[in-house]
């Protein structure tokens, strides 16, 4: 009996010690993770993690501000997927390659979950103005300048910085700013094929000071003097990805350089851009198109002040919530040697281009743009193409509407005539998610395989 008692006691004792060790280890680990016990931020952080933890089968995503069903967030499925967890592929679904929605970068941010999150307090930046009475975060400005110095894609020294709601808002602000200085009507042009918004936006906002007049190449050919002209120069160009310079020259010509795609993701960087008005957007740098954040580097002080005036009258500056988000994203971009996102993006885009090229090379009916290899200041080597878009041409005489041809193959692109080019051309976006790209590839393979 005594032996049994002694044995039981020993078992309990060993068990108790084992439990001690378990708790000690657990608390030490927990202590290591929770260096700081959270208080008021706990709820928001937990809610964000709970929403993100819902599985959408790798083909969808949940958001804090999405729909909820029975208190659970509803998966927003990627194109061509459906069902409550986005696990059903919809086989006859169209491959939609119309939009330049830069979701190819989404996995990068999921890989950087910890560093890219930002907690916004209820009292964050309620005021109309920053401490310096401006609408622009000084800290964010500094980060933008650093990113340019690492990408080596723009000279920022001696330039003023203006924030806007995406490059979209800054394109308009620049047209206003440049046209206000001129004594006569400023004629706004762009060299075909050009981004449709230059025309639709300029037409919509047309004032007594400026008017959209179409193709810059046509103006160059038909006019002796251009008078006051404002030329949109997109470099690399949307839709064809080719680097460009202004077509028009002269003292009464001002160029607005849309450098949305002038990052190592999409093009060789032969030299840092050094123009008088250069516009960038976070949409094509980090992929956060929904944030509506862009910036302009401006040389002339009067143009800069006019752009500030535009931003004041249009909106009283860019949202402080957006500026905080942009700052957090750029902090991640700048981590380490500040080159990771460029490598990630370039590899992805290069791979997509190569796959498309390979398929089209087997075709007798379709061609894509040729982008020659070029020396890149960022990668410090000669590099091949990795453009944002395919600029596909239907070569067969009867295929006058290339978009309709592709539509017959269950592919949606953006019609060439929208870019002031022939309808033999279609722009196909390479910027979307893997699910979108893989389906596009599949449909193109199908299309080419059915030739003759």
Q: Give the span between the Cα atoms of 316 and 313, in whole angstroms.
A: 6
Q: Report the C-alpha dihedral over residues 345, 426, 231, 245, rounded to 10 degrees.
A: 60
Interface pick for a copy of itself out of 179, 226, 237, 322 (rule CB under 8 A): 322
State the minimum distance, in angstroms, from the CB of residue 397 to a copy of itself.
Answer: 36
Query: Can you tell me which residue has the tokens 């894609």?
Result: 153
State the minimum distance, in angstroms, from the CB of residue 169 to a copy of itself.
Answer: 5
State the minimum distance, in angstroms, from the CB of residue 80 to a copy of itself.
Answer: 14
Q: For residues 325-344, which are near a copy of itself according to CB under 8 A? A: 325, 327-329, 332
The answer to whether the beta carbons of residues 38 and 46 sit under 8 Å apart is: no
Q: Give the span between the Cα atoms of 278 and 301, in whole angstroms.
A: 14
Q: Give the span between the Cα atoms of 111 and 69, in whole angstroms.
A: 28
Give the helix ranges, DSSP H, for 268-390: 301-315, 320-333, 340-360
The answer to whether the beta carbons of residues 66 and 86 sit under 8 Å apart is: no
Q: Give the span between the Cα atoms of 221 and 236, in whole angstroms.
A: 23
Q: For residues 153-192, which are near a copy of itself according to CB under 8 A? A: 165-166, 168-169, 172, 176
x-marked contacts with a copy of itself along 212-251 as a string, rule CB under 8 A = ----------------------------------------
Does 302 sit near a copy of itself (CB under 8 A)?
Answer: no
Does 199 sit near a copy of itself (CB under 8 A)?
Answer: no
Interface pick for a copy of itself out of 136, 188, 324, 402 (rule CB under 8 A): 324
Size of the site for a copy of itself (CB under 8 A): 110
State the minimum distance, in angstroms, from the CB of residue 129 to a copy of itself.
Answer: 7
Q: Running DSSP on this structure, what letter comes out for residue 418?
A: G
Interface pick for a copy of itself out of 8, 76, 347, 351 (rule CB under 8 A): 76
- Give residue 439's region: left, alpha or beta (phi > 0; psi -120 to 50): alpha
Report the relative pairing of strands 95-96 and 411-412 from DSSP bridges: parallel
Rounded to whole angstroms, what are the CA distances from 313 to 19, 134, 293? 67, 14, 17
- The structure tokens listed for 380 are 């410090």
Interface pick for a copy of itself out of 8, 55, 115, 361 (rule CB under 8 A): 115
Q: Give the span between the Cα atoms of 385 and 332, in whole angstroms.
A: 26
State the minimum distance, in angstroms, from the CB of residue 380 to a copy of itself.
Answer: 29
Q: Give the span between the Cα atoms of 358 and 388, in whole angstroms.
A: 17
Does 65 sit near a copy of itself (CB under 8 A)?
Answer: yes
Does 415 sit near a copy of itself (CB under 8 A)?
Answer: no
x-marked contacts with a copy of itself along 134-153 as a string, rule CB under 8 A = ---xxxx-------------
Task: Report the residue number, 2 or 450, with the smaller CB distance to a copy of itself.
Answer: 2
Task: Report the residue number, 203 or 395, with the smaller CB distance to a copy of itself.
Answer: 203
- For residue 123, the SS3 value is coil
- For residue 185, the SS3 value is coil
- Candidate segments 228-236, 245-253, 281-289, 358-366, binder of a copy of itself by CB under 8 A: 281-289
Terminal alpha carbon distance of the chain: 94
State the minimum distance, in angstroms, from the CB of residue 310 to a copy of itself.
Answer: 8
Interface pick for a copy of itself out of 82, 89, 93, 125 (rule CB under 8 A): 125
Does 205 sit near a copy of itself (CB under 8 A)?
Answer: yes
Interface pick for a copy of itself out of 86, 95, 105, 256 (rule CB under 8 A): 105
Q: For residues 5-64, which are near a copy of itself according to CB under 8 A? A: 9, 12-13, 16-17, 19-20, 23-24, 26-27, 30, 33-50, 52, 61, 63-64
Where is 375: in which H helix or E strand?
Answer: strand 374-376
Rounded to whole angstroms, what are the CA distances from 193 to 2, 391, 416? 97, 10, 8
Q: For residues 83-102, which are near a copy of itself according to CB under 8 A? A: 99, 101-102
């Amino acid at each position: 009996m005594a032996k049994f008692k002694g044995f039981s006691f020993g078992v309990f004792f060993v068990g108790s010690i084992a439990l001690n060790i378990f708790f000690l280890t657990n608390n030490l680990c927990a202590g290591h993770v929770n260096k700081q016990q959270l208080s008021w931020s706990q709820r928001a952080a937990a809610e964000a993690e709970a929403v993100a933890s819902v599985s959408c089968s790798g083909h969808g995503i949940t958001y804090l501000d999405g729909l909820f069903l029975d208190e659970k967030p509803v998966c927003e499925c990627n194109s061509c997927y459906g069902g409550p967890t986005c696990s059903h592929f919809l086989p006859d679904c169209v491959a939609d390659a119309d939009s330049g929605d830069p979701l190819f970068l989404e996995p990068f941010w999921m890989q950087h979950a910890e560093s890219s999150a930002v907690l916004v307090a209820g009292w964050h930046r309620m005021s109309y103005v920053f401490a310096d009475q401006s609408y622009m975060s000084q800290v964010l400005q500094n980060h933008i300048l650093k990113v340019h110095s690492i990408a080596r894609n723009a000279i920022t020294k001696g330039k003023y910085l203006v924030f806007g709601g995406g490059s979209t808002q800054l394109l308009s602000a620049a047209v206003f700013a440049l046209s206000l200085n001129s004594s006569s009507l400023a004629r706004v042009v762009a060299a075909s094929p050009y981004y449709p918004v230059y025309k639709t936006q300029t037409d919509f906002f047309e004032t007594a000071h400026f008017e959209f007049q179409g193709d810059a190449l046509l103006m160059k050919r038909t006019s002796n003097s251009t008078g006051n002209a404002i030329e949109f120069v997109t470099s690399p160009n949307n839709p064809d990805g080719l680097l460009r310079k202004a077509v028009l020259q002269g003292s009464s010509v001002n160029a607005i350089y849309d450098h949305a795609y002038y990052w190592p993701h999409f093009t060789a960087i032969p030299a840092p851009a050094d123009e008088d008005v250069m516009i960038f957007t976070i949409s094509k740098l980090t992929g956060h198109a929904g944030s509506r954040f862009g910036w302009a580097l401006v040389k002339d002080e009067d143009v800069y002040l006019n752009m500030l005036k535009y931003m004041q009258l249009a909106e009283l500056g860019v949202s402080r919530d957006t500026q905080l988000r942009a700052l957090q994203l750029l902090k991640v971009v700048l981590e380490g040697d500040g080159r990771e996102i460029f490598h990630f993006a370039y590899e992805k885009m290069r791979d997509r281009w190569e796959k498309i090229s390979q398929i089209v090379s087997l075709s007798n009916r379709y061609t894509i743009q040729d982008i020659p290899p070029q020396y890149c200041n960022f990668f410090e080597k000669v590099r091949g193409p990795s453009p944002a878009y395919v600029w596909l041409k239907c070569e067969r005489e009867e295929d006058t509407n290339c978009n309709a041809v592709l539509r017959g193959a269950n592919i949606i692109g953006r019609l060439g005539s929208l870019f002031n080019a022939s309808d033999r051309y279609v722009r196909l976006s390479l910027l979307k998610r893997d699910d979108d790209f893989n389906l596009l590839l599949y449909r193109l393979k199908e299309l080419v395989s059915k030739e003759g």
